[in-house]
Amino acid sequence: MKVSFPYMGTTVIYKKLLEQLGHDVIMPPIPSQKTINLGVKYSPEFACFPLKVIMGSYMEAIEKGAEVIITSGGHGPCRAGFYEQVHSRILKQEGHNVEFIVFNSMFRDFKNFYKNLMRIKADNSWIKVAKSLMLVYDMMKKLDVLEKEVQVIRAYEIKKGETTRIWENIQRIFDQANNKKQIREAFEKGKELLSKVRKHDVKPQNRLRVGIVGEIYVVMEPSINMKMEELLGSLGVEVERSQYLSQWVDYNVLPDFMNYTHEKEVLKKGEKYLPIEIGGHAKQTLGQIVDFSKRGFDGVVHLMPFGCLPELVSQSIIPRITEDLGIPVLTLSIDEQTGVANNLTRVEAFLDLIRGKHSKKIS
Amino acid sequence: MQEVYLGIDVGSVSTNIVAINRSGEVLYSKYIRTNGQPLDSVKNGLKELNSEIGNEIVVKGIGTTGSGRQLIGVMVGADVVKNEITAHATATIHEVPNVKTIFEIGGQDSKIIIIEDQMVVDFAMNTVCAAGTGSFLDHQSERLGIPIEEFGDMALTAQRDVRIAGRCTVFAESDMIAKQQFGFSKAEIIKGLSEALVRNYINNLGRGKKIEPPFVFQGGVAANKGIRSAFEKEINNEVIIPKHFNIMGAIGAALLAMDHMIETGEQTKFRGFQAADFEFVPSTFNCEDCSNGCEVIKVELNKEVVAMWGDRCSKWTNSL
């Protein structure tokens, strides 16, 4: 099958898994202005931004020859659950012949999950499938370890942009790795490359750490969130995201009785502020803010797609957390507008605020 | 010769230049319409400053703020380039040391800044909605045929209250027309509009924030007495309008530059008043290296590239 998928975060992982199973992978291009223009043109105006961008990247993938699109479903009262329906109808209307394979949680509808799995499995043996899954999981874990390192080093690099370039290079090296040994080598190589970045010497008491929380797509995909991690890094701040692929997989794939992931604890931490699941990542967002605060972070940047209801709800609850725990939070709406100047002003002012809090003076 | 620090606030509507002395007193201030030409307006401002007090001062530091801060910072050789929120807060704390809440309404954007112990602890900024900014008033003054300068005083003469929908300028306009048909006077309508603007501002920016006195109201709109009284009515408290209410950003930039110079002991990077005669050529080109096709802005000073931005991948920005 000529397969493709939504572009989000370190995409080399999905690519690798599908390649391992012998599928022909059509890489969707990194979301660009063209992607956004396409997505906005063909999506309902009031749909949220991720739906539009993904719409655009599907169209670009189809242009490159994709026949099947693999994506995840949604659960709870969030529009993400309807994405596939909306996308496939619009694509059909526009005359594109493309099939969707949607993975919903296997604990809800195992039959359907199994059916999808069989499609992906194709002619491979179950052993091969298990092996590929393990391999990709290993790769995911290792990439996340390196990415977390990147997000710290970037704050202190002497030559602007060097860490980001190395990180892109590391992903390319991983893309070439096809077995356990090569993945280990890629990991070692990545560590070595990162250790060579020349850094400013900053005293531990002067270091600032900021967490990024919010809806998964705008948090994970730098090309549409003004490269928030890079931006914060270039302003001298260490960054950690609320979502990493391996964490997401752990939380969503492990059955309940053995699901001891950090995300479970995080959800519990936010329960005081939002006891029920309202869809999207609202509950995670609040829990993550509490979690970042307890872990001594200086501030949190909250990203939400414009018009995202779950995140609007969390936005209105955030002032209470700030009051209780004293952690400053900056909420930014992400949409197609390209005028980044005013968001840059907000981010800069926010960093002044947390620096001031850190050193007890306006900087 | 007096030692001074300069501050330049380049906004979308106005450009302000101030010179302050070591104790933060304003020695000179200039308010210029930007008219979409920030480079020219700053050049003119510098020339005027130079001809008026150029012989009596030594510039020890310079700061820029406002939406054009980077570009102008490069042009004048700024020591400090700061966002307008920090700059506004700095200036207000200097003038009203115990301030807790700052309302700032300019032509194109509005801000609320919450201060605790002379430190910014929270802020919000509105840029995409006109219903809480000066342009809203500007537009309505034109509709009613009353100069914006007379707007505030006229509101104070209103006899009755009339409520105008203020959530969105479009609704405000049709509501305003409806209320005119009901026979309300222009003064009453203007009072209603002022209250609508304040309501919109508080709802939009003040939501979820701890708004406590003392309140300071600044920015160009603070000149409007109608808005001031609408604010006082809405929050049921006195509102302080600082002496230099419409140039607070520039004062803040100058104060920040002073702090920075004293702290670091560095020499100023100010290019001198002749910067006004330098040939600054901003140009743009489309980078075609990837599908983003970014419009990159390039600024040249005497044929040498001094700044670049606008590229999503930072390739050009980092190339300097």
Stated pTM of the model: 0.89
Please report which helix (H) or strand (E) contains residue B272, including its range. none
Q: Are residues A210 and A120 part of one domain?
A: no
Q: Are residues A239 and A191 part of one domain?
A: no
Closest listed residue to residue A2, CA positions, set A90, A70, A96: A70
Task: Spell out which residues of chain B touch residue A230, defining contact as CB-CB under 8 Å.
Answer: 314
Spatial distance between the Cα atoms of B109 and B131, rounded to a whole number of angstroms: 10
- Answer with the residue of higher pLDDT: B252 or B282: B252
User: What CATH number has the domain bearing residue A53?
Assistant: 3.40.50
% of chain A surpassing 70 pLDDT: 97
Least confident of A53-57, A257-261, B22-26: A257-261
Span B246-258, mean pLDDT? 95
Which pLDDT does position B275 carry in this prediction? 77
Q: Are residues B188 and B262 part of one domain?
A: no
Cβ atoms of A356 and A363 within 8 Å: the answer is: yes
Report the residue of chain A nearest B207, measured CA to CA.
A316
Question: Which of B88, B210, B291, B309 should be substituted to probe chain A, the one whose Cβ sees the most A Cβ atoms within 10 Å?
Answer: B291
Least confident of A23-32, A253-262, B114-123: A253-262
Q: Are residues B135 and B28 part of one domain?
A: no
Query: pLDDT averaged over chain A?
Result: 89
Task: Spell out which residues of chain B touch residue A337, defining contact as CB-CB under 8 Å.
Answer: 128
Q: Are residues B257 and B225 part of one domain?
A: no
Report the residue of chain B nearest A346, measured CA to CA.
B125
Q: Are residues A143 and A119 part of one domain?
A: no
- The total number of structural domains in chain A stands at 3
Q: Which of B93, B118, B123 sits opposite A349 (nearest CB)?
A: B123
Confidence band for A338, pLDDT divided at 50, 70 and 90: low
Residue B133 makes CB contacts below 8 A (sequence gap 6+) with B105, B106, B107, B108, B109, B110, B126, B221
Q: Are residues A250 and A167 part of one domain?
A: no
Q: Are residues A207 and A195 part of one domain?
A: no
Is B17's pLDDT higher than 90?
A: yes
Residue A111 makes CB contacts below 8 A (sequence gap 6+) with none
Put simply, the answer to whether B86 touches A363 (Cβ < 8 Å) is yes
Q: Are residues A207 and A190 part of one domain?
A: no
| DSSP 8-state secondary structure symbol assigned to residue B302 | T
What values do phi and psi take at B215, rounded to 5?
-100, 140
Put simply, the answer to whether B119 touches A360 (Cβ < 8 Å) is yes
Q: Write out pLDDT tens, residues B271-291.
A: 888 877 788 888 888 888 877
What values do phi and psi take at B307, rounded to 5?
-160, 150
Strands B14-20 and B2-10: antiparallel
Could you tell me what percentage of chain B is helix, strand and coil, using 3-state DSSP and rounding each to the nearest 5?
Answer: 40, 25, 30
Report the residue of chain A nearest B127, measured CA to CA.
A342
Q: Are residues B220 and B209 part of one domain?
A: yes
Where a domain ends, among B241, B266, B288?
A: B241
- The total number of structural domains in chain B stands at 3
Query: pLDDT averaged over chain B?
Result: 88
Tokens describing residue B209: 């924030």
Q: Are residues B144 and B222 part of one domain?
A: yes
Where a domain ends, among A167, A199, A231?
A: A199
Confidence band for A76, pLDDT divided at 50, 70 and 90: low
- Answer with the residue of higher pLDDT: B82 or A226: B82
Shortest alpha-carbon distance between residue B184 and chain A (Å)? 37
Put simply, the answer to whether B291 touches A356 (Cβ < 8 Å) is no
Where a domain ends, among B217, B241, B265?
A: B241
Task: Spell out which residues of chain B touch residue A329, defining contact as CB-CB under 8 Å.
Answer: none
Report the residue of chain A nearest B89, measured CA to CA.
A362
Which pLDDT does position A84 carry in this prediction? 86
Put simply, the answer to whether B125 touches A345 (Cβ < 8 Å) is yes
Put simply, the answer to whether B83 touches A342 (Cβ < 8 Å) is no
Least confident of A353-362, B33-42, B247-256, B259-268: A353-362
Q: Are residues A161 and A28 part of one domain?
A: no
Which pLDDT does position B147 carry in this prediction? 87
| DSSP 8-state secondary structure symbol assigned to residue B61 | E
Is A318's pLDDT higher than 60?
A: yes
Is A141's pLDDT higher than 70?
A: yes
Residue A86 CB neighbour total at 10 angstroms: 16
Q: Which of A161, A316, A337 sits opposite B318 (nearest CB)?
A: A161
Confidence band for A252, pLDDT divided at 50, 70 and 90: confident
Ranges assigned E (strand) in A74-115: 99-103
Q: Which of B118, B125, B317 sits opposite A346 (nearest CB)?
A: B125
Q: What is the extent of the structural domain holding A260?
A: 203-362
Q: Are residues A358 and A223 part of one domain?
A: yes
Q: What is the extent of the structural domain holding B184?
A: 97-241
Q: Which of B82, B209, B291 sits opposite A32 (nearest CB)?
A: B291
What's the ipTM?
0.87
Cβ atoms of B312 and B113 within 8 Å: the answer is: no
Report the residue of chain A nearest B206, measured CA to CA.
A319
C-alpha dist (Å) from residue B14 to B10, B35, B38, B108, B299 = 7, 8, 9, 10, 22
Is A361's pLDDT higher than 70?
A: no
User: What CATH number has the domain bearing residue B188?
Assistant: 3.30.420.40
Q: Are residues A219 and A261 part of one domain?
A: yes
Q: Are residues A274 and A258 part of one domain?
A: yes
Q: Are residues A213 and A352 part of one domain?
A: yes
Q: Are residues B113 and B233 part of one domain?
A: yes
Spatial distance between the Cα atoms of A36 and B136, rounded to a whole number of angstroms: 31
Q: Are residues A132 and A94 part of one domain?
A: no
Residue A80 makes CB contacts below 8 A (sequence gap 6+) with A50, A51, A73, A74, A279, A280
Q: Write out pLDDT tens, residues A255-304.
A: 778 878 888 888 899 899 999 888 888 899 999 999 999 999 999 999 99
Confidence band for B262, pLDDT divided at 50, 70 and 90: very high
Strands A299-305 and A209-214: parallel
Is A348's pLDDT higher than 90?
A: yes
Is A362's pLDDT higher than 60?
A: no
